[in-house]
Structure 1
Amino acid sequence: MKNAFTPVLAVLLALSAALAPGHALAQATTAVDGIVAVVDEDVILRSELDRAVNNITAQYANTPEQLPPRDVLERQVLDRLVLARIQLTRARDSGIRVSDGELAQAIETVASRNRMTQDQLRQRLAADGLSYEEFRASLRDELLIERLRQRYVQSRVQVSEAEIDQLLAVREIGGPEVRLANIVVALPEGASPDEVALAQKKARDIKAVIERGELDFRAAAIRYSDAQNALEGGDIGWRALDAIPPAFVGLIQQMQPGQISEPVRGPSGYQLIQLVETREQGRQTLTEYNAQGIMIRVTPTLPAEAARQKAEDLYARIQAGEDFAKLARENSDDTLSRNDGGDMGWFQLNAWGTAVGSQLAALQDGQVSRPFQSDAGWHIIKRLGVREQDVTEQNRRNQAREIIAQRKAEEEFERFLRQLRSEAYVESRLSAS
């Protein structure tokens, strides 16, 4: 597969047709198709694993040296398939569903993000040997897993204002952001000193391979990393320093883009961390408008034409010099602003709808719009002012909230996955297949 898709889609396509039971490949008889894993009452077939692995190798057809040996790649992919199968089973047992309409919208989103029409997406899938139905099934599975995650963490993750204050007091929010990648050499629970020393040596050897120029970091991650993001070249993405575990922040702040750390011991083993690039966050502003409004609602007793005529009459009275606020209090059907003389407060351009927003953008301060129609009724808007509001502090608090929530969500879901994995019956037959 030529690497023309976004990274997320490329991985999705690589694993398509191998995530869920019931696909055409999963219906082959075991008499001619060996079993590579048993997952509770389900199985993963050799054909499923081969299809997923072959899709990945096709994606790297021009750079096959970036992939690990076949047996290592099969183990990485099988681990993903097993965990995905467990999550899909739990999602379906929990009553989570994805409608055809929701799936169609997701496909449209995938196509647009890759700057394709849906017909072009179909053609590209066919060119890469993947049926459209397999792609749809795989995308549905991805949505089911994401909804399982959302449902599980939603009720378990709460962020208090005190937690936000505490984070802001000890960390700089809204500062530089870093894009990171990592390579993980995993250690088992309760690893022996010999196992720890061996993992550390392996991490150092991987770094030496990169420094000698035999592989770049991405290729080394694909070949050697034990992390779930190995097949994405170890890419972690953009993170604010506040979203990084404190133990790593000092280390990363001393690195230059492109630099790779020495092996660092983490909860899952030894890591090599690459600082890919950095970017600054500047002062953040938001354009806000202040306006007064009168709305005449269309009702069964006041049809559209009568409402329009009433708005025209009020506009004529405003143009003749009558007070806008007084007319709003006496005539407006907008209960949110009527008692304040139609004062709508300060708001972003389209906060009251695109019809109001387009009128505001065309007005100058002090000008009154002619009557115009929206879904709610007929309107007259007077623009009072416009300002650039500094929302840096507000965004800092929102960022802090998101950082804490994301961290808690990741921790909660990681515990949940470990629990699911420990409760499931998994028998790997890969070596014997």
Structure 2
Amino acid sequence: MKQTFALLLFATALAATPFARAQLLPQAAAPGQGGTGQDQSLDRVVAVVEEDVILQSELDQAVAAVQQQYAQHPEQLPPIDVLRRQVLDRLILMKLQLQRADDQGVHVSDQDVDQAVAAVAQQNKMSPDQLRAAVEQSGQSFAAFRQQLHDQLVVQRLHQSVVRDSVSVTDSEVDNLLNSPSYKAGEVHLAHIEISIPSGASASDIQAAAAKAKAALDAIKGGMDFNAAAIRYSDAPDALEGGDLGWRRMDEIPPAFVDTIAGMKPGDVSPALRGPTGFHILKLVGQRQPGKQIVTEFHARHILIKPSQLLSPQQAEQKARDLYNRIVNKHASFADLAKQDSDDDTTANEGGDMGWFQQDAWGSAIGQQIAGLKDGQVSQPFQTAEGWHLLQRLGERQSDVTEKAARDQARQAIGNRKADQAYDDYLRQLRSSSYVKILVPALADPDSADAKASP
């Protein structure tokens, strides 16, 4: 049976914004790399995107990938002409982002792609070799699969470069958010339908969007599943995922929609709400209150012996073992030896004291060691990429980190919201200022100039 693999979205910098985000298509073979096997001599250009083009084969393969994803529920997909327009819009946006990234010198190495492949394999509970075999068994090119991961990483780095200098969060903003009713309201699970309005929209554009939003609401009231309605009617990049936004804190939601959501119960669907980018229909899937966050913390001392030009790896290991023997035989204290011999600049002057920390705060290798020790016990020397380590566990406790976690989450929520808005504005400006010509009128928006032009 053919499989569709989830392409991992990397890093919180590319965290999804509730109402406008750039996502990738389900994987589709690149032109000439597997897929339909069409005769490329019969291929045609369906859209010109700046100095690049989108071929019919690219569009067909991407549409086929979406249809494969919904093979068990084809009734959830919109009519084929609407689906083709949706997919083409996403291909155009991807081309534009990749072009802009190239102009700005954004590059991704083969090693970065290898790590991405390993992450997708792990997500699907496979080894990289098993992932390759499964992709090829599904009839797709593994080279095309790697290319899409490459493009995804490029877009992530473009996103980071766009928002890096435009987003900052102050302590006062964090304080205000923590004291706001929206933050105290907890989290909500949302789905949405977006009926977009183009930049500089005319009265007729707005009227057409309002009519489409009404048609979507009527379909939902008539019994259509909300996710199916999102696939059929939504213009958002996540439409083909059913518009599911997952769990969001109330403070992460645009303020214009908070009051509406606050008055809804799970299962309720909002009326069409006018926002800066168009009309939005929201469904409240669920809600929950945050609880206390209690974590286990450890207190320990640390000695690091690094190999150097004067100390070979073998000598570094031997030195670590000599220190271990001096400590366990009580010829010297751990703290004294840490001050004398440790190469860890952050702890040596404190006698190796690492303070209180959560298990993996100093890395998984140290985390595994500390969890296996008893209070007062010293670890056998163990090696990491840094060198040879000794740990002495001093204590363990349960700590309430609710307040700290709340501040961290609030800061991240504000940053994400600002970053999402900044990148959404960037994409809208990029799309409106770029040369895009759709050569097949049936693939253009019905109200656009391209659609009204003759073939």
Q: State the TM-score bracket (shorter-chain normalisation).
A: 0.7 to 0.9
Equivalence for 1:285:
294
Q: Which moved more, 1:267-276 or 1:341-350?
A: 341-350
1:259-289 deviation digits (Å, cap 9, x = unpaired): 2112211122222111122333210122212
Q: Flag structure 2 segments of 5+ consecutive residues without an equivalent.
A: 10-22, 442-453
In the other structure, the counterpart of 2:172 is 162
Counterpart in the other structure of 2:108: 98
Alpha-carbon distance, 1:192 to partner: 5.6
Deviations, residues 100-122 of structure 1 (Å, cap 9, x unaligned):
11111111211211223334433
The equivalent residue for 1:309 is 322
For residues 202 and 94 of structure 1, do their structure 2 counterparts lie closer, same or farther at Cα, with a shift above 3 Å needed? closer
Inter-partner Cα distance in structure 1 for 2:414 and 2:323: 52
| Conserved 8 A contact 1:174-1:399 | no
Q: Quote the residue 2:60 is aligned against.
A: 50
**Whole-Å Cα distance in 1 between the matches of residues 306 and 51 of structure 2?**
60
Q: 1:163 is paired with a residue of what secondary structure?
A: helix
User: Structure 1 308/262 Cα, relative in aligned 2: closer, same or farther at 3 Å?
Assistant: same
The structure-2 alpha-carbon separation of the partners of 1:7 and 1:62, relative to structure 1 and needing over 3 Å to count, comes to farther
Q: Counterparts of 1:379 and 1:208 in 2: how far apart (Å)?
A: 65
Given that 1:311 and 1:379 are in contact with CA atoms closer than 8 Å, whether structure 2 keeps it comes out as no
Select 2:250's aligned residue among 232, 241, 266: 241
Hey, what does 2:381 align to over in structure 1?
A: 372
On the 8 A contact 1:296/1:311 being kept in 2, the answer is no
Q: Secondary structure at the match of 2:266?
A: coil
The one of 26, 47, 54 aligned to 1:14: 26
Q: 1:189 to 1:309 in 2, by over 3 A?
A: closer
Tell me the number of residue pairs that the alignment of Structure 1 and Structure 2 aligns: 425
Offset of 1:171 from its aligned partner?
4.2
Q: How big is the shift at 1:251?
A: 1.7
| 1: CA distance, partners of 2:353 / 2:407 | 28
Deviation at 1:161, TM superposition (A): 1.6
CA distance in 1, matches of 2:40, 2:334: 79
User: Partners in 2 of 1:137 and 1:324 — Cα distance?
Assistant: 51
Match of 1:76 among 83, 86, 89: 86
Distance in 2, matches of 1:17 and 1:307, equals 52
298-307 or 160-169: bigger deviation? 298-307
Answer with 155-164 or 338-347: which moved more. 338-347
Matches within 5 A, 1:376-387: 381-387=391-397
Q: Residues 187 and 289 of structure 2 are in contact (CA less than 8 Å); yes or no, is this contact kept in structure 1? A: yes
Structure 2: distance between partners of 1:371 and 1:116: 33
Contact 1:173 1:399 in 2 (8 A): no
Q: Deviations over 1:16-75 (max 9, x none)?
A: 235xx89789xx999632221111222112222122112222332332222112221111
* 2:127 is equivalent to residue 114 of structure 1: no
Which one-letter code corresponds to 2:393 in the other structure?
R
CA RMSD, Structure 1 to Structure 2 (Å): 3.3
Identity across the alignment (%): 46
Alpha-carbon separation, structure 1, partners of 2:339 and 2:326 = 16
> Are the structure 2 counterparts of residues 80 and 369 from structure 1 closer, same or farther at C-alpha, using a change threshold of 3 Å?
same
CA distance in 1, matches of 2:88, 2:151: 16
Q: Distance in 2 between matches of 1:357 and 1:418?
A: 45
The structure with the larger Rg is: 1
Aligned-partner residue type, residue 61 of structure 1: A
SS of the residue 1:14 aligns to: coil
Paired with 1:306 and 1:429, the residues of 2 have a C-alpha distance of 71
Please state if 1:255 is matched with 2:264: yes
Task: Letter of the 1:315 partner, please give it.
Answer: V
The 3-state SS of whatever aligns with 1:287 is: strand
> Are 2:97 and 2:155, in contact at CA under 8 Å, matched by a contact in 1?
yes
* Counterpart secondary structure, 1:51: helix
- Using structure 1 for the length normalisation, give the TM-score: 0.85
